[in-house]
A and B are shown apart, each in its own frame.
Chain A
Amino acid sequence: MSWWLVSFRRDGPARYISHLDTMRVVQRTFARAGIELALSQGMRPKPRLSLPLPLPTGAAGLDELAVVEVVEESAAALLPVRLAALRAAAADGLAIERLVIAGERPRPQAAAAAYECRLDAPGPAVDEALAWFAGQPCVSVVRQSPKGRRAIELKEYVCELSASPCDAGTKLAFTLRYGPGGSARVDEVVAALAARLEIEPVVLDLTRVRVTWQGLPSRSFAATDEIAPDGHVRGQRR
């Protein structure tokens, strides 16, 4: 058995699926590629597969990560072959980018993630809303969940907010910090700004551009990494 880190992108039609459906799609991709996933113990064993930072439905993800345990004892030299098989087996909109053998079971946690989306509002109005956000001591939203209501202080989590012109409206870029207490959600950030802009609070063209992880093995990957012919990663290390 081996643990793998799998870097992938979700875009195209696949951006419109939920976190659970993404899990199932990734699992099916492994099965079609002929790579057997290890199963959990118990009455109803489940494949050992996790996507540590769920991607919202409707979002593209350019820097996504899956952690899987495969049945085979992986040899680094075989990874390019496995990668090719996974790429051939991937559904429309799911691009498997890299594989790395992780050694110990990795338990990555997101530290931060950069997002981009579109607001249906003109640039100057969005600039004004961002200035308002920056000038407030706190901007809180109420999150309703089955566990009850909870106030979320957006300014604890949102940073690097910026706006730039785009095709139909204004592109909004921001970073969410993740901590032990979780984080704000993209729709909460957009809802706060939309209220200020007096526009419909709808998240358009959302893309998660980058994720910064904690707890990855030292030999991990980043956007600039490539798999060498021997299966090892070369490039930037975090």
Chain B
Amino acid sequence: MRSLPKESPGENRLQHDLTDLLARVARPGRYVGGEFHARRKPGATPRIVLSYPDVYEIGIANSGLQILYAGLNDATPAAAERAYCPWPDMATLMRARGVPLWSLESGAPVHEAALWGFTLQHELTYTNILEMLDLAGVPLHVAERGEADPIVLGGGPGTANPLPLAPFFDAFFVGEAEGRLAEIVAALEAPTRAQRLGRLGAVPGVWLPHASGGRAVATGKSGATMAGNGRVERQVFMGFAHTSPVTEPLVPLIEGVHDRAVIEVMRGCTAGCRFCQAGMWYRPVRERPVAMVVEAAARALRSTGCDEVSLISLSSCDYGGVREAIAGIRERFPHVRVSLPSLRVDSAAVVLARLGDEQRGSVTLAPEAGTQRLRDAINKRVDEQAFAAAVRGVFGAGYSGLKLYFMVGLPDETDDDVAAIAAMAESALRNAREAAPGRSRISIAVSSFVPKAHTPFERAGFAGEAVIRRRQELLRQRLPRQIRVRFHDVGTSLVEATMAMGGREAGALIEAAWRGGARFDGWSESFDAGIWRRAAAEVGIELGGPAWSSTEALPWRDVDPLVDDGFLRDEGARAVRAETTADCRDGSCTSCGVCGGEIEMELIR
């Protein structure tokens, strides 16, 4: 092998083995790095490996990992490298030949790193974490790890309920880590593993599930207990609005799932959708100034060579400078597409999408529920008129397709609510045909509602497989033939709910499923419901997750989301009454409890 990676030929102990492996797998570009803007810091310490536990093409497109990668490499002495989950063809070869998982920058084994950070973006990647630990030669269980093993740390939204992963993680960082990177790196300088963990535990936001000294926490229906270092507060990065986004991101050699530059314009969302964990978890809203956004977009476009920039956030149409930012970028780069990741359901949002992009493909809108009552219950403040105007706006603007997102299995949902989805789709079709006769494709995607920790629906419970399947069938029968429909697989939702709502006992399920062969559960071609059913039977867990009554202690109660429990309960009660709650960015604080001290909303207007 001539070069892999070329910067560190002396250090790269795996080169020869890799050549032989790479010749035998699909898409070998997944395993070699070489991205433009990859940072290499040979000899720098501590060495940290960052992982997105999915295949490279998914992981490289994750903007959170890009932020941490740039922040650690550019602003701390640490060398941050990366590893993604090898696809099964590569994993089989690695095991057969005894090649341990390596990092892309140095090619050195991951198990030699001081810290191994995983971003926990969704529950269906959890078996991949075990797969990666095993491929790296790192003991799965914290109790079996020794002095030479890396500290395994989880971060990202999955830490809202880290308990199912607790057996496998030494530590979790709860919240936004940008402001704490230097402290984390400094903690790794301690001479022993126990001392490093101890110092990490002192960093705000770090939860050590296995630390002694913390009080025991009852978790799960089984009543299993787990000691930790006490209640941990979610960290909010208040430097967000004053710090430039990453403008020299990794530009991959092979195409990721998103092939564009991204600029995070806003963090947090206060629209208050009651099913949405991110909407509660990333509060309060912080907006970057338009001039900063435009300048960062210009730099990112030049440094990546991309011909599209996406202005990302949880709800970019609500960003106070969205119109000016799009106009500012397009003035400087007239041929560049400026995209918004999701559109609000109204005609103004469609106008914004048009501003950023002359190409007229398809547009996605998410009304989420079929009746006004249920939309009010989930606090998705969309009415029939706004929806009809948005549909006419889409096709009137020349778009050729519209995709609508709905959920089934929502709390207090009835068959009538589901039947109303079909009626809504039908009315969309009528409006579309009026606006653009002869060219109006409408499709709908229907997911299953999965309750999440720290939301008003955290005690709602999963509707169950039978209910979801029946409602899917009901909808299938009612929909006009001209509308294509795709239902999310119920099996994956069952697994997701078990992880999202579970306590420590769900860890045994993850392990049993992984030992049974579960990998890449988020991929329809890989997900095997049978493996999960067998694993659930083996460990005595019912798939679909526990439902928590109003009097039971929630397993994730020691993770403080900053949003008050009382607010969540109030919102849950308002949902039952189908009462909406206003967006606090419009001036009326609804006392969710997040703001206070240094934490406050930062709006640009």
Contact = CB atoms under 8 A, between A and B. Distances in A.
A28 B19 contact: no
A58 B2 CA distance: 12
Contact of A91 (B27, B253, B302): B253
Interface string A206-230: 0000000000000000000000000
Interface in B1-55: 1-6, 16, 19-20, 22-24, 27-29, 31-36, 38
Most chain B CB within a 10 A radius of its CB, from A44, A58, A202: A58
A236 to B, nearest CB: 26
A178 interface: no
Nearest to B33: A13
B23 A92 contact: no
A93 B22 contact: no
B225 interface: no
Most chain B CB within a 10 A radius of its CB, from A25, A92, A203: A92
A27 interface: yes
Contacts of A25: 253
A29 B251 CA distance: 11
Contacts of B16: 168
Most chain B CB within a 10 A radius of its CB, from A11, A16, A18, A27: A16
A13 B253 contact: yes
Contact of B2 (A17, A24, A60): A60
A205 B19 contact: yes
Contacts of B254: 17-18, 21
Interface residues of B, number: 34
B306 A31 contact: yes
A30 interface: yes
What's the interface size class on A, roughly?
20 to 34
A18 B306 CA distance: 19
Contact of A16 (B6, B28, B302, B303): B28
Contacts of B306: 28, 31
A140 interface: no
A21 B253 contact: yes
B542 interface: no
Given A12-B3, A32-B305, A57 B28 contact: yes
B305 A17 contact: no
B538 interface: no
B66 interface: no
B222 interface: no
A205 B359 contact: no
Given A11-B3, A29-B305, A30-B305, A17 B19 contact: no
Contacts of B305: 27-32, 89
B35 A16 contact: no
A17 B3 contact: no
Contacts of B27: 18, 57
Interface in B570-599: none
Contacts of B251: 28, 91
A200 B438 CA distance: 55
A233 interface: no
Contacts of B302: 32, 34
Given A12-B34, A205-B1, 13 more contacts: A12-B4, A13-B3, A21-B255, A28-B251, A30-B305, A32-B305, A44-B359, A58-B28, A91-B253, A92-B33, A92-B34, A92-B36, A93-B6
Interface of A: 11-14, 16-18, 20-21, 24-25, 27-32, 34, 44, 57-58, 60, 89, 91-93, 168, 202-205
28 contacts: A12-B2, A12-B5, A12-B6, A12-B34, A14-B34, A16-B22, A16-B29, A18-B254, A20-B255, A21-B253, A21-B254, A21-B255, A24-B259, A27-B305, A28-B304, A28-B306, A31-B304, A32-B36, A32-B302, A32-B305, A89-B305, A92-B5, A92-B6, A92-B35, A92-B253, A205-B1, A205-B19, A205-B23
Interface of B: 1-6, 16, 19-20, 22-24, 27-29, 31-36, 38, 251, 253-255, 259, 302-307, 359
